[in-house]
């Protein structure tokens, strides 16, 4: 079967022997991502030797379907760090499904939420460029839209294919690429994806019964929570995190009852 992508790079035939409950990102999108990096290899962001790691995009190897999906902005990497040989050109990571396995701290809160809700979970960053300071993305959103758009085309295709039960966007800047702060981005005339997130009024897309927005994916409404960071110095306080766990469980249970 051929998947005809909305973005300009057309996939090779998808390996139908893959687990039907997973999207094999390495198989399905590696060529697409490398084509983007090749197109922009002369860009200023790749020319500074202190940021050599930017030349090597990073993605999850697998994204689970029909699960709780966490969305971040981009993979973090420390200035001056070296890329492992096996990740030269492009890297793929995979989080452990074993809740007792101590992963990097970034994923631990996601595991905690999923365990509390007794549900499968998955994670995807909207952008694949390694960078600790997200100001890089902020600046590119004003000056180099095509580089971001081509990545967003891939990311939102993956999100739609994943058909998540619920999306938690755990980064304020990432929320803007779903439709937050449209005025800041000139109504998203430049940015590929921008849902209508209207809090109140006759055109509201906010579901007051579950306390969050809904967006249309696969011709159905999918709940989406815009949250703060789950880890790090700017992480949610304990009370806010507990409310997020409660709301996530409530939404997932309400979908099960339908």
Q: In this prediction, what percent of the chain has a pLDDT beyond 70?
A: 86
Q: Which domain holds residue 51?
A: 22-257
Considering the domain boundaries, does residue 33 fall inside one? yes
- Mean pLDDT for 197-214 is 93
Question: Domain tally for the chain?
Answer: 1
Considering the domain boundaries, does residue 232 fall inside one? yes
Q: What's the angle, vertex CA 28, arms to CA 23 and CA 34, rounded to 5?
A: 130
Among 60-74, 84-98, 201-215, the minimum mean pLDDT is found in 84-98
Radius of gyration of the chain (CA): 18
Considering the domain boundaries, does residue 243 fall inside one? yes
Considering the domain boundaries, does residue 9 fall inside one? no
Residue 226 pLDDT: 96
Residue 7 pLDDT: 36
Residue 16 pLDDT: 43
Considering the domain boundaries, does residue 10 fall inside one? no
Of 47-56, 147-156, 185-194, which one has max mean pLDDT? 147-156
Higher pLDDT, 189 or 13: 189
Q: Are 127 and 73 in contact (CB under 8 A)?
A: yes
List C-alpha distances in Å: 38 to 35, 146, 169, 179: 5, 13, 29, 29
Residue 23 banded pLDDT, cuts 50, 70, 90: very high
Among 3-17, 26-40, 236-250, the minimum mean pLDDT is found in 3-17
- Mean pLDDT for 216-242 is 91
Considering the domain boundaries, does residue 6 fall inside one? no
Q: Which residues contact 137 (CB under 8 A, 6 or more apart)?
A: 73, 74, 127, 129, 131, 148, 173
Q: Which residues of 111-132 are buried (b: 16+ CB within 10 A; e: fewer)?
A: bebbeebebebbbbbbbbbbbe
For residue 254, pLDDT beyond 70 = yes
- CB-count exposure of residue 177 (10 Å: 0-12, 13-18, 19+): buried
Higher pLDDT, 36 or 196: 36
Considering the domain boundaries, does residue 1 fall inside one? no
Q: Cα 88 vs. chain centroid, distance in angstroms?
A: 22
Please give the mean pLDDT across all residues of the chain. 86
- Mean pLDDT for 227-244 is 89
Considering the domain boundaries, does residue 8 fall inside one? no
Residue 239 pLDDT: 95
Residue 98 pLDDT: 57
What CATH number corresponds to the domain at position 185?
Answer: 3.40.470
Both tokens of 137, joined, read: 């993305």
Q: In this prediction, what percent of the chain has a pLDDT beyond 90?
A: 62
């Amino acid at each position: 079967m051929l998947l005809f992508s909305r973005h300009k790079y057309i996939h090779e035939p998808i390996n139908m022997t893959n687990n039907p409950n997973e999207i094999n990102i390495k198989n399905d999108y590696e060529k697409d991502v490398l084509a983007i990096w090749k197109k922009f290899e002369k860009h200023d962001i790749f020319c500074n030797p202190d940021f050599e790691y930017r030349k090597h995009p990073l993605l999850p190897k697998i994204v689970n379907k029909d699960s709780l999906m966490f969305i971040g902005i981009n993979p973090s990497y420390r200035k001056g760090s070296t890329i492992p040989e096996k990740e030269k050109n492009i890297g793929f990571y995979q989080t452990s499904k074993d809740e007792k396995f101590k992963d990097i701290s970034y994923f631990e809160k996601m595991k905690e939420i999923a365990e509390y809700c007794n549900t499968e979970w998955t994670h995807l960053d909207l952008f694949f460029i390694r960078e600790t300071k997200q100001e890089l993305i902020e600046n590119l959103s004003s000056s180099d839209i095509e580089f971001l758009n081509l990545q967003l085309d891939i990311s939102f295709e993956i999100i739609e294919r994943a058909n998540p039960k619920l999306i938690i966007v755990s980064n304020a800047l990432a929320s803007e690429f779903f439709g937050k702060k449209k005025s800041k981005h000139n109504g998203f005339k430049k940015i590929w994806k921008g849902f209508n997130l209207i809090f109140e009024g006759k055109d509201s897309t906010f579901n007051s019964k579950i306390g969050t927005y809904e967006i249309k994916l696969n011709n159905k409404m999918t709940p989406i929570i815009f949250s703060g960071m789950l880890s790090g110095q700017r992480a949610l306080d304990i009370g806010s995190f507990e409310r997020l766990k409660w709301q996530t469980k409530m939404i997932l249970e309400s979908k099960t009852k339908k």
